[in-house]
Amino acid sequence: GFVGREISVMGSFGMNKADIGDLMTLVARGRLDLSHSITATYPLDGINDALDRLARKDTGVARLVVEPGR
């Protein structure tokens, strides 16, 4: 599951609750690999930079990840 593989989904823009559940199921079953769609990873203190990048609607952004322990 997600705990053993250290995968978690904490929040998302543009998806409803049912979509997130479906997405988590696909990832957990190994049917969907999201690792190649991550554009950038930010530490928690860089969250404002990540949100600014999203607000600019940068066309090169697929997915941004914020890692609190980074």
pLDDT digits (tens, 9 = 90+) for 4-20: 455 565 565 666 777 87
- Of residues 60 and 12, more confidently modeled: 60
Predicted confidence at residue 9, as pLDDT, reads 58
pLDDT at residue 2, as a whole number = 44
Task: Calculate mean pLDDT across residues 28-39.
Answer: 86
Look at the alpha carbons of 49, 59, 12, 28 in this order and tell me if their dihedral is positive or negative.
negative
At residue 15, the pLDDT reads: 67
No. of H helices and E strands in the chain? 2, 2
Identify the pLDDT of residue 29.
93
